[in-house]
Amino acid sequence: MGYFLQQLINGLTLGMIYGLIAIGYTMVYGIIGMINFAHGEIFMIGAFISIITFLALGLVGVGWVPLALLIVLLATMLLTSVYGWALERVAYRPLRSSPRLAALITAIGMSIFLQNYVQLLQGARNKPLQPVITGGMRFLEDGEFAVNFSFLQMLIIALTIALMIGFTLLINRTALGRSQRACQQDLGMAALIGIDVDRTISLTFIMGASLASVAGLMFLLNYGVIDFYIGFLAGVKAFTAAVLGGIGSVPGAMLGGLLIGLIEAFWSAYFSVEYKDVAAFAILVLVLIFRPTGLLGKPDVEKV
Amino acid sequence: MSVLRVEGLHAGYGHIEALHGVDIDVAEGEIVTLIGANGAGKSTLLMSICGNPRASRGRIEFLGEDITRLPTHAIVRRGLAQSPEGRRIFPFMSVLENLQMGASTTDARHFDADLERVFTLYPILRERRQQRAGTLSGGEQQMLAIGRALMSRPKLLLLDEPSLGLAPLLVRQIFSVIREINVRDRVTVFLVEQNAYHALRLAHRGYVMANGKIVLSGSGQDLLANPEIRKAYLEGGR
Ligand SMILES: Nc1ncnc2c1ncn2[C@@H]1O[C@H](COP(=O)(O)OP(=O)(O)OP(=O)(O)O)[C@@H](O)[C@H]1O
Ligand SMILES: [Mg+2]
């Protein structure tokens, strides 16, 4: 029981991180019908900006953890957004009316480019960070084993839930969110009622990047070490999560993320750590066989 | 004063040209209709006025200003609204949200009054305002498409076959609302129709399009009386 609970906590934490990244995939796909393969690298850049900001704050002597966290959070959201915005502006927008394959290849190219860019600037070696948030709660103590719910995990879960609530309100209740949904449903019609489609797409990339940057910060805090390559696997898994949940659906992305996180945690705990990635993909294949639109995806038939 | 002036417009899709030099003039306060067979290029003209597909040659003026090269959103923000072919309401949004989308470029202070106006024209939309637009009937979707266009307070309303697929009673209702919008709200209307009889009776003037060109124009009465028109577009009509 205790062991199970521990894996549940670990899986949820991991799932939150995947879910935050997955939203970026799903929103961009929803609007321009393209898989932004460089989105994993945006997440990686978010983690790098976080570590650089932490180190810089250490240098100027900002030692109070809540303040430091807040500054890092804002800095990485802001700066990573600039990368997300520039990515769309420079690489994707000129190809908006080209065949999809061109955009897809460009996205893969941008992914490789961004990896190399960070490798060049930051070096290929691991970047470690001293634990920032330590301690936690122990319960269900039973001999040697106790369930450990760390303060960091609580923070990750709480912050993600807060972001999700804010984000859902933004999409459902504000004029900007309405414009985004309109663009998702009919880009040409959205333009026809005066929506600046380019601007809406830019904002979508900015939102996706800022959520991914928070995931990057969480990843950094959780694992304490990053390198220029972390965007690849995290990106693939988050993409899997988006497809699993139903690509184009924001709640689906979050649900898919949680499921992938949980599958990974339980699989490594009860079966074998080596095959944890395979497990997630196997589940994906199964779901797509029985529900091609993903768990919460809408079938396209209603698009009259 | 001329609200819309199209001169020598060429436009098409890729290498295929659909409009081969179209001239149109719509004056303030008019209802002008455009009729023509399937595939003549009517919808292409309406869309091209809004910048998509873009004019490859020619000039489009709205309220005296050259809009030929402006992006779509900038064109419609100048006071032009279109209820396009196929209605294209946002199916996963509620009726109310669709109307809010229509108003997204106008001053929020007008919103309540404009909404009330649309609900007065189409009371069924008030009843259905929380319903998902994709689940509305065809006629209700058409009303919503027109209502959404009206929410932007247009000076010029472009309507693409608003009567398509509707029962005769609804067709009459749609046309009487168009007249009311024109008279009461002083909206200039450019109406594309297959239903030539109703359209020509309603309109002050009409154009006939064939194969991407204007082949005939005149007052609604004259066109209705024209034997060629009768033969081509009205035989079998009421
Ligand atoms: N998206 C498109 N891509 C390629 N060709 C198109 C496209 N839309 C229309 N066309 C072509 O352009 C020509 C004009 O079509 P358009 O839709 O403007 O005609 P229409 O007069 O509106 O016809 P209808 O009365 O059937 O609506 C047709 O030959 C049509 O096949
Ligand atoms: Mg048409």
A243, A288 in Cβ contact below 8 A?
A: yes
Distances (CA, A) of A247 to A187, A203, A292: 17, 19, 10
Give which of A207, A206, A285 is closest to A244, Cα–Cα.
A285
Say whether residue A188 is in contact with chain B using an 8 A CB cutoff: yes
The answer to whether B84 faces chain A, any CB pair under 8 Å, is yes
Q: How far is B234 from chain A (nearest CA, A)?
A: 30
Ligand nearest to the CA of B37: 1
- A residues 143-182 near B, CB within 8 Å? 175, 178-179, 181-182
- Give the contacts of B237 (CB within 8 A, at least 6 positions apart): B195, B196, B197
pLDDT 10s digits, B26-50: 999 999 999 999 999 999 999 999 9
In terms of CA atoms, which chain A residue is nearest residue B88? A189
Q: Which residues contact A55 (CB under 8 A, 6 or more apart)?
A: A129
pLDDT higher than threshold 60 for residue B59: yes
Of B82, B92, B149, the CB nearest to A185: B92
Residue B51 is given by DSSP the state: T
Ligand with the closest atom to the CA of B42 = 1
Number of alpha helices (DSSP H) and beta strands (DSSP E) in chain A: 11, 4
Residue B40 CB–ligand 1 contact under 6 Å: yes
Higher pLDDT, A279 or A41: A41
Q: Is the pLDDT of residue A227 over 70?
A: yes
Residues 6+ apart with CB under 8 A from A287: A244, A294, A295
Spatial contact of A183 and A201, defined as CB atoms under 8 Å apart: yes
pTM over 0.95: no
Q: Which residues in chain A are closer than 8 Å to B87, comparing Cβ atoms? A: 304
Domain extent listing, chain A: 2-133+148-290
Using a 10 angstrom Cβ sphere, with 0-12 exposed, 13-18 middle and 19 or more buried, the burial of residue B113 is exposed
| Full 3-state SS string of A102-144 | HHHHHHHHHHHHHHHHHHHHHCCCCEECCCCCCCEEEEEEECC
Model confidence pLDDT, tens digit, residues A156-212: 999 999 999 999 999 999 999 999 999 999 999 999 999 999 999 999 999 999 999
B22 alpha carbon, closest ligand: 1
The CATH-assigned architecture of domain A2-133+148-290 is Orthogonal Bundle (1.10)
In angstroms, the CA A96 to CA B52 distance is 14
How many angstroms separate the CA atoms of B118 and B40, rounded? 32
Sign of CA dihedral B123, B128, B134, B135: negative
* Interval B197-217: pLDDT, tens: 899 999 999 999 999 999 999
* Alpha carbon nearest to ligand 1 atom 28, residue: B39
CB of residue B43 inside a 6 A radius of ligand 1:
yes
Distance between CA B82 and CA B191 in Å, rounded? Answer: 10
Quick: pLDDT tens for B150-188: 999 999 999 999 999 889 999 999 999 999 999 999 999
Give the ipTM. Answer: 0.92
Chain A interface disruption, residue of B44, B72, B99, B140, most A CBs within 10 A: B72
Q: Is A152 helix (H, G, I), strand (E, B) or coil?
A: helix
pLDDT in tens, A119-162: 999 998 999 999 988 888 888 777 778 888 999 999 999 999 99
Tell me the torsion sign for CA atoms A97, A98, A100, A102: negative
What b/e sequence results for B126-143 when a residue is b if at least 16 CB atoms lie within 10 Å of its CB, and e otherwise? eebbeebbbebeebbbbb
State the distance from the centre of ligand 2 to the C-alpha of B44, rounded, in angstroms. 7
How close B12 gets to chain A, by Cα (Å)? 15
For chain A, the 3-state helix, strand and coil shares in percent, each to the nearest 5, are 75, 5, 20
Provide, as residue numbers in chain B, all residues whose Cβ is less than 8 Å from the Cβ of A175: 100, 104
Helices (H) and strands (E) in chain B, counts: 10, 10
What is the predicted pLDDT for the residue at A300?
54
- From A65, A25, A42, select the one nearest A219 (Cα to Cα): A42
B156-160 and B80-83 strand pairing: parallel
Q: Is the pLDDT of residue B236 over 60?
A: no
Upstream peptide bond of B53 is cis (omega within 30 degrees of 0): yes
pLDDT in tens, B81-127: 999 999 999 999 999 999 999 999 999 999 999 999 999 999 999 99
